Amino acid sequence: MSTVPPADAPSPEDLTPVFEVTDVRRDGDRVLYVGYPREPPATVESELAPLFYEQGFEMHLQARGGSPSGEYAIVASERSIGIDGIPWKNVALALATILTTLYAGTVWYHIDVAANPLHALQAWPFSLAILTILGVHEFGHYITSRIHRVDASLPYFIPIPPPFGTAGAIIRMHGRMPSRKALLDIGASGPLAGIVATVVVTVIGLSLDPITVPRSIATSDAARIEFAEPLLLRGLAWLTGQPLSYADPTRQLHPVVFAGWLGMLVTFLNLLPVGQLDGGHVMRALLGRRQETVAAAIPAVLFGFAGILLLRGDVSIEAGIWIVWGVFTGVLAFFGPAVPMREEPLDRKRQAIGLVTFVVGALCFMPVPFRIVV
C-alpha cells in the first residue's frame, strides 16, 4: 500500500467482504481505495456506504477508466455538515422575500404605496406571519438533518410578486440518507413544525379585528378572488368562535388569517407523496421501494381532478393549479425519491408519525383553493 488511510476512515480490511483493496491513494482531500469488487457494484455501494457514513465519510464507487484489468476505486471524502462563511445567497433571498411579502401585504391591507413606497412597512404583520410559517417549516428540516448528521443548507426563500409574495422556501441536502428512520424524521419534521406555526398564526389572525375595505373597492363590479376554507381553518374558526366572513362587504378578515391559509396550502402541496417533496420522503420511509407505485399515480390523479373541474365548466381557470402540479409531480416522479442507505422498516412510533403527517395534509386540502368571481 502506498498510503495508509486516515485513522478515522475505514481500513482496507473493513472492506474485504465485498471489495478487494490493492492500493490506497490520496487525491487532495479524498481517499481512494483501488481494487476489485467481489460483488456487483451496486451491492458494494449499498454494503459499504453505511460503514463510511458512520465514520464520517461519503463514498461512491467508480470504474477506473482506461484500466485494462477492470479496476475500480472507492472514492471517500469527509462529510461536512457545517456552514462555511456567510450564506450570502440565503440572506439575499430572505431580504428579497421580505420586500415581496410586504408588497403583497399592501394588496390585502389595501395600502396605497404609489405616493410613498414606505407605506408598505404597514403590512409587516402579514410579512412576518408568512416568513414565520415558512421559516419554522424549513428549520424543522434543517435541525432534524443536523441531528441525523445529514448535510443540509440553510433555507432558501423564494420571492414572487403578489398576491402571495412568496412561493415558499427550500433547503438543499447533500449526500445520501443514512436510513428510512432518518428519511421519515427529516421529511415529517418540516410539515409538523410548520403546521404548528400555521395554527398559531391563524389563531392570532382570527383574534385580530377585521380590516376596513374602502367602499369603492367593496362595491366594485371588478373581478375578485374567493378563497376556499380547508377543514383545519374551519376547525380553528369554530374553536375560537370567530367568523370566516362578514355580511358587511367593507369588513374583511385580517391579512394574517390569509397568511395562515397560505401556510395550509403550502403544507398540503408539500405532502403530495412523490419525489423529493416532503410527502415523497415520508411515503418512501413508510413503504420502502413500493412508494414508487404511489408516486406514479399522483400525476394521473391530479390531471384527472383538473379534468373533473374543467367538465364542470365554472372553474376552468382555477383548475390550472392542478394541471401545473400534475406536470410538476410527473417530473418529480420520474427522478424519484431519496434512497436511504439502510432499508430497515420503521418502528410503530415512526409509522404513527408518518400517518399523522398525512392526516395533517388532508386537513389542509382544498379541492379548489381559490376561484375568480366576476
pLDDT in tens, the chain (374 residues): 456 677 678 888 889 898 989 888 888 778 889 989 988 888 888 888 888 888 888 888 888 776 666 788 888 888 766 666 678 899 999 999 999 999 999 988 988 888 888 999 999 999 999 999 999 999 999 999 988 888 888 899 999 988 889 989 988 887 778 889 999 999 999 999 999 999 999 999 999 999 888 777 766 665 567 788 999 999 999 999 999 988 888 888 999 999 999 999 999 999 999 999 999 999 999 999 888 889 999 999 999 988 888 887 766 677 888 899 999 999 998 888 888 888 888 999 999 999 999 999 999 999 888 776 66
- Which residue in 284, 267, 122 sits closest to 198, CA to CA? 267
Write out the residue limits of the CATH 3.90.1070 domain(s) in the chain.
12-78
Task: List, as own/partner pairs, every contact residues 27-32 make where C-beta atoms lie below 8 angstroms and the sequence separation is at least 24, other chains included.
Answer: 27/75, 29/77, 29/78, 30/75, 30/76, 30/77, 31/3, 31/5, 31/6, 31/57, 31/75, 31/76, 31/77, 32/73, 32/74, 32/75, 32/76
Q: Which CATH class is domain 12-78?
A: alpha beta
- Which residue in 79, 74, 6, 7 sits closest to 46, CA to CA? 74
| Residue written as grid cell 457545517 | 82
In the prediction, which pLDDT does 48 show?
A: 87
Chain centroid to CA 26: 37
Cα→Cα distances 316→188, 310, 312, 319, 323, Å: 33, 5, 8, 5, 11
Q: What is the pTM of this model?
A: 0.83
**Phi/psi at 28 (5° precision):** 65, -120
**3-state DSSP call for residue 360?**
helix
In the prediction, which pLDDT does 2 show?
A: 55
How many angstroms separate the first and last alpha carbons of the chain?
A: 78
Concatenating the DSSP letter of every residue in 231-245 gives: HHHHHHHHHHT--S-
In the prediction, which pLDDT does 102 show?
A: 95
Burial class (CB in 10 A: 0-12, 13-18, 19+), 87: middle
In tens, the pLDDT along 337-353 reads 888 888 888 999 999 99
